[in-house]
Amino acid sequence: MNVNNNKKGRFICLFFMLAVLASCTQSDKASTYFQTEGNAIGTTFHITYGTKQLDSLEQKVDSIVFAVNHGLSTYQENSLVSSFNANSGEIWKDPEEVKHFENDMQHFVEMVSLSKTISNETSAAFDPTAAALFDLYNQAKKEGVLMDKEQVQECLKHQGIQNIQFDDQGFPYKLDSFVTVNFNAIAKGYLVDIIADYLTANGVANYMVEVGGEMRVKGKNAEGRSWQVGINVPLIEARDEDFFKILELENVSLATSGNYQNFYKVDGELIGHTIDPRTGEPIVSNLKSATVLHDFCAVADAYATACMVLGLEESTKLIKGNSSLSAFFIYEEGEELKGIYVE
């Protein structure tokens, strides 16, 4: 699982110009394209959409971002997920605490439910309950050392999405009091879906919603063309504007994960930031970038992470075995980078 998402937006570069702020072109002269951006769940978001409404939908989008942040962001100490992680495992019985998180519970429940499904489908290559393991990695990176093997094994003892259950009232509790969760590898995609669904429900037929590099596009851009999305060259020395492939997309979600940026060195050895949650070991693989496409961005987000854990061969089997998924993999063969489209 990708344990550092702050720079993930570099994997995807969006091709849209300042002209999106002006009136739409020949394809729909009655629409105006708006653009809004901000910060959410430890990263940034950018939204471009065309609407016939006189006012933008920015205020409502901001409220959606706030709600998802309050429910799922580990970057907020007062979020539901942070409170859950700090909880010893008892069912929440404090009426004030229950009321405080009442509006956030749906997001948490949906994340756990979807995570259970994808964890099972990927043989636990995707596992948000490996939060303690990722914290251990980040501490080792900060100190410039390898992760302590005994501590890794201790983390592995308290993992498994099945350790999170819900009581009759729908409130979460832990079967293992030490289990913690980190939804960073799926929450960005989930936020994309929530915002995109809101735009669709309000009659917006053309939009691009991007959170931390994960996105959903619908319809056409301001020029009346398909949305163009560039997949970066997965090399340390590559520039942000260096693209391996450019995709033209409509009505689909996309997420990309890679293992070539956020690394550190120990005795000359590169330690990547993708950790196998099943073994606790950093991944060493010829698969350098995994871009997954699906109707829902949360699904694409989680599967992209799982693919980087599984490697090229197993990921290819995984994608081919699920008709709702497709993917573009960039892999290393000798000293050459190659790409393959899988469906």
Alpha-carbon span 53 to 49, nearest angstrom: 11
Whether residue 133 lies inside any domain: the answer is yes
Q: What pLDDT score was predicted for residue 24?
A: 40
Q: How many other CB atoms sit within 10 Å of the CB of residue 342?
A: 18
Order of strands, edge to edge, in the sheet holding 12-14?
12-14, 227-232, 243-249
pLDDT number for residue 98:
64
Secondary structure percentages of the chain, helix, strand, coil, to 5? 35, 25, 35
* 308 CB-near residues (< 8 Å, 6+ apart): 2, 257, 258, 259, 274, 283, 285, 287, 290
* 127 in a structural domain: yes
pLDDT in tens, 116-130: 999 999 999 999 999
In a domain, 323, yes or no: no
Position 235 scores a pLDDT of: 86
What single DSSP character describes residue 276? -
Q: What is the pLDDT of residue 236?
A: 79
Alpha-carbon torsion angle 161, 112, 42, 275, nearest 10? 30
Question: How many structural domains does the chain have?
Answer: 1
Question: Containing domain of residue 145, as a range?
Answer: 67-184
Flag whether 145 is in a domain: yes
- Integer angstrom CA distances of residue 319 from 148, 194, 292, 332: 34, 24, 9, 19
Q: What pLDDT sits at residue 264?
A: 86
Widest pairwise Cα distance in the chain: 64
Query: Could you say which residues of the chain have pLDDT below 50?
Result: 2-29
CATH of the domain at 176: 1.10.3980.10
Query: Is residue 214, in this structure, part of any structural domain at all?
Result: no
Residue 89 lies in a domain: yes
pTM of this structure: 0.89
**What's the CA gap between 63 and 1, in Å, rounded?**
29
User: Is 112 inside a domain boundary?
Assistant: yes
Does 209 fall in a domain? no
